[in-house]
A = this chain, B = another copy of it.
Amino acid sequence: MESKKSILEISSTLRNKGMKMTQQRRVILDVLRNTKSHPSAEWIYNQVRQIIPNVSLGTVYRNLNILHQEGLVLEMNYGKGQSRYDGMVEPHYHVRCSECGRIDDVELDSINHLSETVESLTGFAVSDYRLEFNGQCPDCMKNN
């Protein structure tokens, strides 16, 4: 089991960098950390609005960018659609349905030494990697 940082720990990390933990930021983070759906900024915005009715979409984007920079959320881009976000930052992989866009986690053990191998092959300093599977989800298989 991975231990998840508490909101309190995150607050103090941010404070040390001169950043504040606003109500908006806390709720955005909370919404994202409490769903397994890998949502878009707009979906998050709609959830947050139920708690802070006059929050703006710009604020959601600004916070997602900041949280992403700080390594507190993952951002994933697919094709030309909206980016999707993930509050689970511990290394893990994803499968995505190319029909409906659903994204599931893959419980695959991490593949060892890949980064090191790539560093010696390419001369790059590798910081991380992304492994994503594409296909058709069980629901879409049924409906066809």
Contacts and interface: CB of A to CB of B under 8 A. Distances in A.
Contacts of A111: 111
B118 A108 contact: yes
A142 B80 CA distance: 34
Interface string A88-122: 00000101011000001011100100110111011
A7 interface: no
Nearest to A68: B79
B107 A124 contact: no
B133 A132 contact: no
Interface residues of A, number: 39
A100 to B, nearest CB: 11
A122 B134 contact: no
A114 B124 CA distance: 25
Which 3 A-B residue pairs are closest in the complex by CB-CB distance? Answer: A126-B135, A77-B77, A124-B135
Interface of A: 75, 77-80, 83, 93, 95, 97-98, 104, 106-108, 111, 114-115, 117-119, 121-138, 141
Given A95-B126, A114-B133, A126-B134, 19 more contacts: A77-B79, A77-B80, A95-B118, A104-B124, A106-B118, A108-B117, A119-B135, A122-B133, A123-B138, A124-B133, A125-B135, A126-B133, A127-B135, A128-B135, A129-B132, A129-B134, A130-B132, A131-B131, A131-B132
